[in-house]
Amino acid sequence: MIEAELKARVRDPEAVVRQLGERATARFEVYKDTYYDRPDRTLEKAGQELRVRTVHGADSTRTVLTFKDAAVEEDSGSKPEHETEAADSGAVHAILLGLGYRPVIAFEKRCRNYDVEAVGRRMLATFVRVPEIDGIFLELETLVDEAEVPAALDDLRTVLAELGIGPEDLTRELYTEAVAARRGADRQSL
């Protein structure tokens, strides 16, 4: 499956949160993300990502191992995504290290997630704050087959417009790069 996703900077957070709250119940979660690569940065050069995410929610903590392949749609950066939950985050980190991967950056995202149904699609709207960078973001995504990506992106744009977010608000800025820049380092540094 492809994660058709659009990300935008939010200019009026209160209005967006209010509108999302009318559509679904919010789930407050904190993501602890660690991105891995080989020492020669093979994954980054190929446009791929390998991430271990530990999600701390109100009632539970879970760990998800994710591999994202290179983008299939350049304007949005939509990528094939493969992920699975892991029972032991320490074991996942140890396995990746044992296979020769190295952590390149780790950071926290504070998220307010909404599972919404819109224009005939199940979507995840995530209101995001990354403490180390300026701004508030909204990620809107849906999982589709590759052939459906253009139509799915159109549907995501429709929902964003309903939330008062226009094309000028869209961004391809990566949290990994923004955090590294804020730290005054490249992604090689934790």
pLDDT digits (tens, 9 = 90+) for 15-52: 999 999 999 999 999 999 999 999 999 999 999 999 99
The low-confidence residues of the chain, meaning pLDDT below 50, are 187-190
pTM for the structure as a whole:
0.92
Per-residue three-class SS string for the chain:
CEEEEEEEECCCHHHHHHHHHHHCCCEEEEEEEEEEECCCCHHHHCCCEEEEEEEECCCCEEEEEEEECCCCECCCCEEEEEEEEECCHHHHHHHHHHCCCEEEEEEEEEEEEEEEEECCEEEEEEEEECCCCCCCEEEEEEEECHHHHHHHHHHHHHHHHHCCCCHHHECCCCHHHHHHHHHCCCCCCC
pLDDT of residue 185: 62
pLDDT of residue 113: 98
